[in-house]
Structure 1
Amino acid sequence: MSHEIIIAPSILASDFSRLGDEIKAVDQAGADWIHLDVMDGHFVPNLTFGPPIIKALRNTTDKIFDAHLMVSNPDVLLADYAAAGANYVTVHAEACDHLDRTLSHIRELGCKAGVALNPHTPAAVIQHVMDRLDLVLVMTVNPGFGGQVFIPAMVEKIATINDMIDGRDIIIEVDGGITAETAGAVVRAGAQVLVAGSAIFKGDNQASYSGNIARIRDAVR
């Protein structure tokens, strides 16, 4: 393995009634980033949270806040997520009419720019915006729900994107069905950031979270 793996627990799988404590727990358990799954009830069926919640949580940890916007109108919201404290802001290619402009705006706001691709979306979509990208998020399940089963065909897609990056300073992130059993395949294909929700938040306490994170790390060593 030529790069350090980043573990980004998705708080979608945490106990929302004690969200601040859950973030502190996974921070202490060994998380590298905190993944924030924003859903609008339109681009995906579920609703989660928005900038006010992220802003309120920002002082619970100094770890990277990785905001994944599963929303149909990302352009009107970008400034709010930057102001709330997101370090990475990732938009869906499928939701952006002018992806180049959107990614440029994210960077102008002082954030790292990411683009997410649904399972059916070909890698070629990002070919002409590579110079605007800091991160590519490959969805290894269909977006909108936690606890789904990993789609094996996405491993080839990750490898294709890794080839397209060709030495650029762009990180590949994967989200969906990531466990100790699936992590090895995506890392071998080129993924560096592993988003995991259900696999990390099993056990409901910091010691369990620590063991869950360690199992994923051990699987890719």
Structure 2
Amino acid sequence: MKRKVMLSPSVMCADLLDLKRSVKALEEIQVDALHIDVIDGAFSPAMPLGIDTIKRLRDITTLDFDVHIMSLNNEFFIGKMLEIGVQQISFHYESSLHHDRLINLIKRDGVKAGVALNPATPLSSLDYLLPQLDNVLLMLINPGFADNKNEQQVAYATQKVRQLADQVEALPHTVGIQVDGRVSFSTIPQLVQAGATNLVLGSTSLYVPGKTLQENKQTLDDLIYRHQSQGKAQ
């Protein structure tokens, strides 16, 4: 049986001046989680949401919070997100020294633990970590540079997803394969066929202008249904 493909719209792409209305609109179309980027301005040149804003968001919705930390101080932000009450936290392999400790810190609170990889970071980095994880977040563009329209999805994106899917299939438990970065109507078919199970959605999919959220959500559902049934791409 094929796994459900999770839809995780990025809060960064919502109306940041009216987040309450934006989140309610996402609830109405029944997305699976809110993808929340926590960026310290040092790991990547952006700081879209502050801790207090995320805390206020927690008060207005029951949607799962799927947090992607892009920071040089992962432990600090992990602690803050655990205090807020999130459901999944992914931190970057590249900015961490003590990966096992951070995974244990997250899972101790019953929260799903994930590791994020920059596009060129090899999957071999996860050789000893993968059995401990609930999620692997594959960045398909360099994190924090989404505003640069010239930043294109890396050419090896589908190959990397496929290789990770092969590794996950050998495990005795389920690990999510999350993809982030130009996850668009044109790239979703290949990503889903390759084995992606969690799509971070932004301006090239759920928030494509000229269509309503419901219309774009229907397009996503149709694409996923059609291409997931075809199995992993060769």
**TM-score > 0.5 by shorter chain:** yes
The correspondence of residues 165-204 of structure 1 with structure 2, limited to 5 A, is: 165=168, 166-167=170-171, 168-198=173-203, 199-203=205-209
Distance (whole Å) between structure 2 residues aligned to residue 115 and residue 214 of structure 1: 30
Deviations, residues 88-125 of structure 1 (Å, cap 9, x unaligned): 01000001111111111111132110100000100011
The correspondence of residues 114-129 of structure 1 with structure 2, limited to 5 A, is: 114-129=114-129
The question of whether the paired residues in 1 share the 8 Å contact of 2:69 and 2:77 is answered with no
Distance (whole Å) between structure 2 residues aligned to residue 188 and residue 202 of structure 1: 22
Is 1:154 the equivalent of 2:154?
Answer: no
The question of whether the paired residues in 2 share the 8 Å contact of 1:26 and 1:210 is answered with no
User: Structure 1 75/196 Cα, relative in aligned 2: closer, same or farther at 3 Å?
Assistant: same
The question of whether the paired residues in 2 share the 8 Å contact of 1:7 and 1:213 is answered with no
The question of whether the paired residues in 1 share the 8 Å contact of 2:40 and 2:70 is answered with yes
User: Which residue of 2 is the match for residue 111 of structure 1?
Assistant: 111
The CA RMSD measured in Å over matched residues stands at: 1.6
**The residue matched to 2:128 in structure 1 has which SS?**
helix
Distance (whole Å) between structure 2 residues aligned to residue 79 and residue 94 of structure 1: 19
Distance (whole Å) between structure 2 residues aligned to residue 56 and residue 110 of structure 1: 22
Larger RCO, structures 1/2 (Cα 8 Å, 6+ apart): 1
Deviations, residues 55-95 of structure 1 (Å, cap 9, x unaligned): 10013221210000011111122121011121101000001
Residue identity matched to 1:78: I
- Structure 1 residue 144, shift from structure 2 partner: 0.0
Distance (whole Å) between structure 2 residues aligned to residue 40 and residue 134 of structure 1: 24
The question of whether the paired residues in 2 share the 8 Å contact of 1:140 and 1:176 is answered with yes
The question of whether the paired residues in 2 share the 8 Å contact of 1:74 and 1:96 is answered with yes
Distance (whole Å) between structure 2 residues aligned to residue 161 and residue 101 of structure 1: 23
Deviations, residues 175-218 of structure 1 (Å, cap 9, x unaligned): 010112111111111110000111222349xx711111221221
Is 1:217 the equivalent of 2:221?
Answer: yes
Distance (whole Å) between structure 1 residues aligned to residue 28 and residue 146 of structure 2: 23
Whose helix fraction is larger, Structure 1's or Structure 2's? 1
Distance (whole Å) between structure 2 residues aligned to residue 219 and residue 152 of structure 1: 21
Unaligned runs of 5+ in 2: 226-234
Residue identity matched to 1:182: T
Number of residue equivalences: 219
**The residue matched to 1:77 in structure 2 has which SS?**
helix
User: Which residue of 2 is the match for residue 52 of structure 1?
Assistant: 52
User: Which residue of 2 is the match for residue 78 of structure 1?
Assistant: 78
Distance (whole Å) between structure 1 residues aligned to residue 63 and residue 106 of structure 2: 19
**The residue matched to 1:159 in structure 2 has which SS?**
helix
Unaligned runs of 5+ in 1: none
The question of whether the paired residues in 1 share the 8 Å contact of 2:139 and 2:180 is answered with yes
Distance (whole Å) between structure 2 residues aligned to residue 142 and residue 27 of structure 1: 29
**The residue matched to 1:102 in structure 2 has which SS?**
helix
The question of whether the paired residues in 1 share the 8 Å contact of 2:40 and 2:46 is answered with yes
Distance (whole Å) between structure 2 residues aligned to residue 216 and residue 194 of structure 1: 10
